């Protein structure tokens, strides 16, 4: 624990010691944040009414799906709409879980920036965004989203290798071969917190 308040439960990246970045040489990691919604001047998520809105019509969600298919490490999230300064109730912000809520797409890479043409929606590329690198410092927010993207990558990898998810556990099903009786099988457990737990039994 590195935090002065020792009553924390260790669920913060600031409270964890890790050599993850040193072991994987992630000191060259770079990132880019693309924003869509009210903060970018866009008319909310996908511009359609909530009833007729399709998730893949949303530029952030469709770009996220294409980036995953293109093996780009990325993550998206909803961001709260800013509170209106005046008491104008005529334009109410969208509900927090609405497709019309503001969203961010975070893209991570190592080395040269990947070609995002054809992967990220043009209107999202034209939006105001931020970018940075390890050298300029990774904020707590950026590190948390990087870990979330890595967790998603590990989960997809395990599911693609025919592991089955049972709550927080990923187990390899027994295939029925009598030759394998008595052998140990791999079982993985990880938490969605800021750290990764892998248990092999």
Q: Per residue, what are the HEC states of 124-182?
A: HHCCCEEEEECCCCCCHHHHHHHHHHHHHHHHHHHHHCCCEEECCEEECCCCCCHHHCC
List, for residues 57-67, the tens digit of each pLDDT value: 889 999 999 99
Residue 102: both structure tokens together? 């503001």
Q: Are 2 and 17 contacting, i.e. CB atoms less than 8 angstroms apart?
A: yes
Backbone angles phi, psi at 81, to 5 degrees: -70, 140
- Residue 3 belongs to a domain: no
Residue 7 inside a domain? The answer is no
The total number of structural domains that make up the chain: 1
Instruction: For residue 32, tell me if it sits in a domain.
Output: yes
Span 87-105, average pLDDT: 71
How far, in Å, CA of 134 to CA of 132, rounded? 7
- Domain of 75 in residue numbering reads as 13-189
pLDDT at 104 (0 to 100): 93
Tens of pLDDT along 146-167?
Answer: 989 988 898 898 889 888 888 8
Give the whole-angstrom CA distance, residue 64 versus residue 60.
6
pLDDT of residue 138: 82
Q: Is residue 82 part of a domain?
A: yes
Q: Kindly report, residue by residue over 1-41, the tens digit of the pLDDT.
A: 344 444 445 556 555 555 555 556 667 889 999 998 754 54
| Of 109, 119, 114, nearest in space to 60 by CA | 119
Give the phi and the psi of residue 63 in degrees, each rounded to 5.
-65, -40
The reply to whether 135 falls in a domain is yes
Tell me if 197 is assigned to some domain: no
Q: What does residue 120 show for φ and ψ, rounded to 5 degrees?
A: -100, 135
Binned at pLDDT 50, 70 and 90, residue 86 comes out as low
pLDDT tens figures, 104-148 = 999 999 888 899 999 999 989 888 788 998 888 888 899 889 989
pLDDT at residue number 173: 78
Quick one: pLDDT at residue 39? 47
Domain assignment of residue 104, yes or no: yes
**Main-chain dihedrals φ then ψ at residue 122, nearest 5 degrees:** -55, -40
Write down the pLDDT at residue 32: 94
């Amino acid at each position: 624990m590195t935090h002065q308040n020792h009553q924390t439960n260790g669920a913060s990246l600031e409270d964890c010691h890790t050599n993850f970045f040193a072991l994987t040489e992630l000191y060259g990691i770079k990132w880019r944040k693309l924003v869509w919604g009210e903060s970018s001047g866009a008319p909310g998520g996908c511009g359609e009414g909530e009833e007729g809105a399709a998730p893949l019509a949303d530029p952030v969600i469709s770009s996220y799906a294409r980036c995953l298919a293109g093996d780009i490490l990325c993550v998206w999230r909803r961001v709260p709409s800013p509170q209106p300064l005046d008491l104008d109730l005529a334009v109410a912000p969208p509900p927090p879980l609405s497709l019309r809520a503001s969203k961010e797409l975070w893209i991570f890479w190592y080395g040269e920036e990947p070609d995002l043409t054809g992967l990220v929606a043009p209107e999202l590329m034209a939006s105001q965004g931020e970018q940075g690198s390890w050298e300029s410092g990774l904020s707590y927010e950026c590190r948390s989203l990087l870990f979330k993207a890595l967790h998603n990558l590990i989960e997809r990898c395990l599911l693609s290798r025919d592991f089955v998810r049972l709550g927080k556990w990923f187990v390899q099903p027994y295939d029925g071969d009598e030759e394998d009786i008595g052998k140990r099988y791999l079982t993985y457990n990880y938490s969605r917190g800021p750290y990764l737990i892998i248990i092999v039994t």
